[in-house]
């Protein structure tokens, strides 16, 4: 026995008869996923694989969902649906107040404004040369590309 506890005897009986010590009997038709519970398989299929392609504009191919509108692919259906709802075929709704730049993502506009229009940007300085970057990730890339041997000591 596995030592699981249940509040009622019917749940314990069902566990002993169908789950405990048994191999998963429900297998996914699209991948190698296996489970002991039919409901878990249904949830997996709905979340990972599109059971009804006519409802969602995507194609499931090699573990990725592809948008039929623009061709961009995603690892899961949730990301594809977010893309379809907020990005694909939607005009950019965030505009820069300083230039003609437009984007569909608020975060991209913030990066653009900080990088190009910020009067006193925060700079990250290299401790090994005169290089300065507006983003920490750019300084890290600089270290790895130009100061590889001293990179671990510099940060």
- SS in 3 state form for 4-21? CCCCCHHHHHHHHHHCCC
Q: Are both 14 and 34 inside the same structural domain?
A: yes
- In this prediction, what percent of the chain has a pLDDT beyond 90? 6
Q: Are both 44 and 72 inside the same structural domain?
A: no
2 lies in a domain? no
44 lies in a domain? yes
Task: State which residues form the domain around 26.
Answer: 9-48
Kindly give, in sequence order, each residue whose CB lies less than 8 Å from that of residue 134, ignoring residues fewer than 6 positions away.
114, 115, 121, 122, 123, 124
43 lies in a domain? yes
**Number of CB atoms found within 10 A of residue 12's CB:** 14
Q: Are both 42 and 16 inside the same structural domain?
A: yes
**Looking at the 3D structure of the chain, how many domains does it have?**
4
Q: Are both 56 and 40 inside the same structural domain?
A: no
- Look up the pTM and report it: 0.39
In this predicted structure, the answer to whether residue 61 has a pLDDT above a threshold of 50 is no
| Average confidence (pLDDT) over 117-128 | 81
4 lies in a domain? no
Q: How confident is the model at residue 152 (pLDDT cuts 50, 70, 90)?
A: low
Quote the pLDDT of residue 59.
42
Quote the pLDDT of residue 102.
93
């Amino acid at each position: 026995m596995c030592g699981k506890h249940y509040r009622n005897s019917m749940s314990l009986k069902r566990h002993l008869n169908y789950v405990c010590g048994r191999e998963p009997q429900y297998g996914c038709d699209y991948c190698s996923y296996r489970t002991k519970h039919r409901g878990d398989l249904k949830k997996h299929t709905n979340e990972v694989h599109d059971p009804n392609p006519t409802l969602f504009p995507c194609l499931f191919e090699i573990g990725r969902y592809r948008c039929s509108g623009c061709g961009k692919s995603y690892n899961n259906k949730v990301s594809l649906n977010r893309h379809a709802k907020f990005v694909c075929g939607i005009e950019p709704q965030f505009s820069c107040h300083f230039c003609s730049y437009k984007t569909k993502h608020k975060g991209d506009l913030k990066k653009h404004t900080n990088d190009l229009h910020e009067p006193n940007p925060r700079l990250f300085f290299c401790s090994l040369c005169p290089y300065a970057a507006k983003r920490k990730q750019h300084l890290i890339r600089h270290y790895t590309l130009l100061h590889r041997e001293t990179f671990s000591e510099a940060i």
